[in-house]
Chains A and B, each alone.
Chain A
Amino acid sequence: MRKGRYRNQIEILQGTLDLIILQTLQWGPQHGYGITLAIRANSGETLQVDTGSLYPALHRLERQKWVAAEWKVSENKQRARVYRLTASGRKQLAAERSRWERLQEAIAGILNPVGKETRT
């Protein structure tokens, strides 16, 4: 069932999805549609985040007060709900980043057991 797919994606990506969204918002407030475009562009067309994962993630981040949202009207008279990073959100972003880097190191250590010169 399709629902199962969503569930799994959320579980696997939950930590990284939060990181990606927070990072994207660091460059400025953005609405949901814009965030999907930004993520697609910045990952070189590799990552396409399902709306079924994005919106739940956004609302979850909002509930935890790492992002704040309000309705704004864009240039083309388009009304959209725009998310921005909060102060605690910035702290969370830093924490997620260092967690990600530690994860990277750990995996690199497993993939390249001989010598540490291959660190990026």
Chain B
Amino acid sequence: MRFPLRRRRDEDLEDEIRSHLEMATRDRQERGEAAGAAEQAARREFGNIALVKEVTRGMWGGTRLCHLGQDLRYGIRMLRRSPGFTAVAVLSLAIGIGANTAIFSVVHSVLLEPLPYNEPDRLVRIIQNLPATVTIDARPRRVAAMDLNELLDLRRRTQTFSHVATYDSSSEMTLMGREEPIRVVGTAVSPSLFPALGRQPFLGRVFREDEAKPGSPQTIILSHATWRNYFASDPMILNRTLSLNGRSHAVIGVMPQGFEFPDRQTECWVPVVLSPLAQGEIRSLYPIGRLKDGIALVTAAAEVDAILRGIRESAPDRAERVFVPLDVEVVIIQDELVAPVRTALFVLLGAVGFVLLIACSNVANLLLARSTSRQAEIAVRVALGASRGRLIRQSLTESCLLAILGGVGGTVLAFAGVRFLRTLGPVDLPRLDEIGIDLTVLVFTLVLSALTALLFGVVPALHVSRVNQTEVIKSGGSAKGSARKNTRSLIVIAEIAMAVVLLTGGGLLIRSFLKLSNVNPGFDAKNVLTFQIALPAPVNLSALNENLTEEFRARVQSLPRVRAVAFTNALPLVPRSSFGMPRVRGTPIPIEGAPDVRSVSRNYIATMGLRLTEGHDFGENNRAGQPASAIISRAMVRYFGGETPIGKTITLGNREAGIIGIVDDIHERGLDMEPRPQVYVDSRQGFGRETAAFALNWAYFVIRTEGDPASIISEVRGIVRQMIPGATLRLRVASMEQIVSNSVARPRFYAVLLGLFAVVAVLLATVGVYGITMYSVTQRTREIGIRVAVGARPWQVLALVLSHSVILTLTGVLIGLGGAVALTRYLEGMLFGLTSLDPATFLLVSIGFASITILASCIPARRAIKVDPLIALRHE
């Protein structure tokens, strides 16, 4: 905007110069020259009026801002004049910037933001690294849990930790205190945990030491969200009594908003009660420590190592237990929490970086193409006195305009993208809830936009200013600009290479995910409904008995479309710790090889479709009072030293069971993990607390249906309510198929994302190739016309046009494959069933991509064939 003052000065200067010219002209006329000639001579003597004005204006100062204003207006005008170009450029930039912003917001919230504890970098976990030789799946494993006795000893003896706290695995509990019972996830923690974390409760207080002793009144602390959602932020919540799993707990505190431990799913905390352990019973808990100031991680690790060694050397039952080699690590909590996703997130960040680079390359090429057609205009500007610096500045201003537009569009896309990520993201992605766009992310977007402007603007700006004006004006603005052509070709090759790298990565992840999905879980997941029952408060266990359980089973079985009804104490692929420590007679089983013990109904194995390979299933005779029987999975056979396990016994706690059958393994923990050995016992024979009599309280029911399992939910709920007034169904997920699908949510997430980026990259690169070929055809219309006129055949024209793009494509693909070989190693940990150099994927990618780009360049090539030589030659 030209300020009024400035405008007046401009007008004054014009007047001044005009008056100078008039006086000079008049003097000449008085000396005898003709009027017209005098005026011309005066002008010539004056010199370049525009230049004089320009330099004089330069003396006024404050021109920088004025120039910027001019450049901006000029840039806007240029962009509006070619809306197609502007749209494509802005869209490419918006996609690139938006994707980067979205992924960065994930990286920022998950990896960079510190955890909501006091001095979180002093909070550590104690990890024991188990080598591959002792683990059941022959893969090294990091164990975060510690034996309780060792933990207590550690706490007594440590010099390097200021706090050592523990907590147990989270589990679902039934909470009652309102009208309806609800299932919440709760964690048992030691009283020293909250002091260790260093956060004060929002209401009330934290646990006291005496509240963790067996027999003392039970207490509970709620999370802020639980207090808000389930108790309507009741200000009198403290000292209210709630019932948790049938036992009374007094509410003593509410934690502040945003506080979570150990993850966002935990909704309440209770004190860990350490009851005396039964003979041979082992209990493990997770330790969390706070390092004293100035203590390094390795120092603490060395101390823990020494203490544990001391404990194990002097253990009374040393000869009987198998201890694994010690390799202790002390890790900061945050690092451990995000470790599983850190690599993947950085891979995604790299991928969107590539997408942005490809988008910038496209825009740079577009700008270069446009600058070639604007040569005449630029030459005139140079003749009028524009300096090279001015031209570069103006060109960069235009680039900045594009980048700003792209940045705004990108931010909008990013908001949508983040929302999409949060819904698509696997439930167990650490800190998923905290992902959002905040100030830091917006600043990142701003900086990124500026960088992209520089990235794609510099090269065209330099080219623009390198114009040789006389040559251009002479040839009517059609100079070839071969330097430009080479730059554009190089840019396209770079685009293709990057797109190939992304496509390879995406292809690997997708194929890996498909392989994972095809793994047979070992059971038949189709049409199986799963649920638990939430009994009304207070839970009256004495009302439950085996007949009730049987009646429930029979009634559900009689529903139409129900084929079988069974139950178990834990579902496959749903995390749940096992109970007890089975021992094969005379042979201790290493801790890592510990099988899961499953208390199941008589028909569970048949209902779930497990394959019985030897022996027989539980029969009618397996009831209380009869000799106990167990069915083991194939992975346990190795503990019997080559003999057949059938007929041998296995010790569970203080009882023995005879092995009557062997089933095939199931993938209990995950489709990509080695199966864990399983021991199935009939729930009627009363092992542990989970017996058939109380099945309605603890069991996961599995119902095999014909057709959609969800269709019988309401009927089952009706039966439950009829039999036990006030009871409801607790459905975590409706069907077994969903559970299996959820278990691979993370690989699916990565595969979908990287695949998406790869598709975008391929699109952009294809557009780039198309553009450069189309441009080349347009530039060479005249040449093609001549060739056709002297007898060139269509295929020769085709070859001429395609040869360039074929060379570009092949070069780009080769370089891209090389890059992929170098970079896909970072995907190693994310792949299942493939190596990072999987030849099939590489081959597919190269052939696929090359075909697409060559096809894309066929469109302009067809145009070339249709060139009418007469029209082409008249093109000038």
> Footprint of B on A, CB under 8 Å?
2-3, 6, 10, 31-34, 50-52, 55-56, 59-60, 63, 71, 76, 78-81
- By CB atoms of chain A within 10 A, which of B52, B55, B61 has the most? B55
Cβ–Cβ < 8 Å partners of B48 in chain A: 2, 52
Interface string of B1-35 (1 = CB under 8 A from A): 00000000000110111011011101000000000
Cβ–Cβ < 8 Å partners of A63 in chain B: 59-61
Whole-angstrom CA separation of A71 from B385 in the bound complex: 29
Whole-angstrom CA separation of A52 from B23 in the bound complex: 17
From A6, A71, A81, give the contact of B51 (CB < 8 A): A6
B640: interface (CB < 8 Å):
no
From B15, B20, B47, B60, give the contact of A33 (CB < 8 A): B20
A3 B47 Cβ-Cβ under 8 A? no
B230: interface (CB < 8 Å):
no
B58: interface (CB < 8 Å):
yes
Q: Which of B242-278 contact A (CB under 8 A)?
A: none
Cβ–Cβ < 8 Å partners of B639 in chain A: none
B387: interface (CB < 8 Å):
yes
How many inter-chain residue pairs (CB < 8 Å) link A and B?
65
B19 A52 Cβ-Cβ under 8 A? no
From A3, A10, A33, give the contact of B24 (CB < 8 A): A33
Residue pairs across A and B with Cβ atoms less than 8 A apart, 11 shown, are: A2-B51, A3-B51, A31-B16, A32-B20, A33-B23, A33-B24, A34-B23, A50-B47, A52-B48, A56-B56, A56-B59
B46: interface (CB < 8 Å):
yes
Q: Which residue on chain B has the smallest CB distance to residue A79?
A: B19
Whole-angstrom CA separation of A34 from B27 in the bound complex: 11
The 8 nearest A-B residue pairs measured at CB: A59-B59, A33-B20, A81-B16, A33-B23, A60-B59, A80-B19, A55-B56, A56-B56
Cβ–Cβ < 8 Å partners of B56 in chain A: 55-56, 59
Whole-angstrom CA separation of A78 from B19 in the bound complex: 7
CB distance from A86 to the nearest CB of B (A): 17
Known: A2-B51, A51-B17, A80-B20. 10 other contacts (CB 8 A): A2-B48, A3-B51, A31-B23, A33-B24, A52-B52, A55-B13, A56-B59, A78-B23, A79-B15, A80-B16
- By CB atoms of chain B within 10 A, which of A56, A63, A71, A79 has the most? A56
Cβ–Cβ < 8 Å partners of B58 in chain A: 56
A52 B55 Cβ-Cβ under 8 A? yes
B55 A80 Cβ-Cβ under 8 A? no
Whole-angstrom CA separation of A12 from B170 in the bound complex: 84
Q: Which residue on chain B has the smallest CB distance to residue A34?
A: B23
Whole-angstrom CA separation of A33 from B387 in the bound complex: 28
From A31, A76, A79, give the contact of B26 (CB < 8 A): A76
Q: Which of B691-749 contact A (CB under 8 A)?
A: none
A59 B51 Cβ-Cβ under 8 A? no
Whole-angstrom CA separation of A71 from B26 in the bound complex: 19
Is chain A's binding surface mostly helix, strand, loop or mixed? Answer: helix
Whole-angstrom CA separation of A6 from B20 in the bound complex: 19
Cβ–Cβ < 8 Å partners of A59 in chain B: 56, 59-60
Whole-angstrom CA separation of A71 from B13 in the bound complex: 11
CB distance from B330 to the nearest CB of A (A): 68
CB distance from A64 to the nearest CB of B (A): 10
Interface string of B52-66 (1 = CB under 8 A from A): 100110111100000
CB distance from B777 to the nearest CB of A (A): 36
CB distance from A66 to the nearest CB of B (A): 13
A81 B19 Cβ-Cβ under 8 A? yes
Cβ–Cβ < 8 Å partners of B17 in chain A: 51, 55
Cβ–Cβ < 8 Å partners of B16 in chain A: 31-32, 55, 80-81
Cβ–Cβ < 8 Å partners of B387 in chain A: 3
Cβ–Cβ < 8 Å partners of A56 in chain B: 52, 55-56, 58-59
Q: Which residue on chain B has the smallest CB distance to residue A80?
A: B19
A51 B59 Cβ-Cβ under 8 A? no
CB distance from B32 to the nearest CB of A (A): 18
Cβ–Cβ < 8 Å partners of A81 in chain B: 12, 15-16, 19
B52 A55 Cβ-Cβ under 8 A? yes
B12 A6 Cβ-Cβ under 8 A? no
Cβ–Cβ < 8 Å partners of B47 in chain A: 50-52
From B22, B24, B46, B55, give the contact of A6 (CB < 8 A): B55
B22 A78 Cβ-Cβ under 8 A? yes
A80 B23 Cβ-Cβ under 8 A? yes
Cβ–Cβ < 8 Å partners of A50 in chain B: 47
Whole-angstrom CA separation of A76 from B15 in the bound complex: 16
Cβ–Cβ < 8 Å partners of A80 in chain B: 16, 19-20, 23
Whole-angstrom CA separation of A56 from B61 in the bound complex: 12
Q: Which residue on chain B has the smallest CB distance to residue A59?
A: B59
Cβ–Cβ < 8 Å partners of B51 in chain A: 2-3, 6, 52
Cβ–Cβ < 8 Å partners of A60 in chain B: 59
Whole-angstrom CA separation of A102 from B624 in the bound complex: 124
From B20, B22, B385, give the contact of A3 (CB < 8 A): B385
CB distance from A104 to the nearest CB of B (A): 28
Whole-angstrom CA separation of A80 from B16 in the bound complex: 6
Cβ–Cβ < 8 Å partners of A71 in chain B: 12, 15
Q: Which residue on chain B has the smallest CB distance to residue A57?
A: B59
Whole-angstrom CA separation of A71 from B55 in the bound complex: 22
Cβ–Cβ < 8 Å partners of B60 in chain A: 59, 63
CB distance from B406 to the nearest CB of A (A): 35
A51 B46 Cβ-Cβ under 8 A? yes
Q: Which of B51-92 contact A (CB under 8 A)?
A: 51-52, 55-56, 58-61
Q: Which residue on chain B has the smallest CB distance to residue A74?
A: B23
Whole-angstrom CA separation of A79 from B11 in the bound complex: 14
Whole-angstrom CA separation of A87 from B751 in the bound complex: 80
Whole-angstrom CA separation of A56 from B359 in the bound complex: 46
B59 A33 Cβ-Cβ under 8 A? no
Whole-angstrom CA separation of A3 from B388 in the bound complex: 12
Cβ–Cβ < 8 Å partners of A79 in chain B: 15, 19
From A3, A6, A31, give the contact of B19 (CB < 8 A): A31
Q: Which of B637-676 contact A (CB under 8 A)?
A: none
Whole-angstrom CA separation of A2 from B56 in the bound complex: 16
Whole-angstrom CA separation of A33 from B12 in the bound complex: 15
- By CB atoms of chain A within 10 A, which of B12, B17, B23 has the most? B23
Cβ–Cβ < 8 Å partners of B22 in chain A: 78
Q: Which residue on chain B has the smallest CB distance to residue A35?
A: B20
Whole-angstrom CA separation of A81 from B20 in the bound complex: 9
Whole-angstrom CA separation of A50 from B60 in the bound complex: 19
CB distance from A11 to the nearest CB of B (A): 12
Cβ–Cβ < 8 Å partners of A78 in chain B: 19, 22-23, 26
Q: Which of B364-412 contact A (CB under 8 A)?
A: 385, 387
CB distance from B532 to the nearest CB of A (A): 85
Whole-angstrom CA separation of A6 from B53 in the bound complex: 13
Q: Which residue on chain B has the smallest CB distance to residue A76?
A: B26
Cβ–Cβ < 8 Å partners of B46 in chain A: 51
Q: Which residue on chain A has the smallest CB distance to residue B24?
A: A33
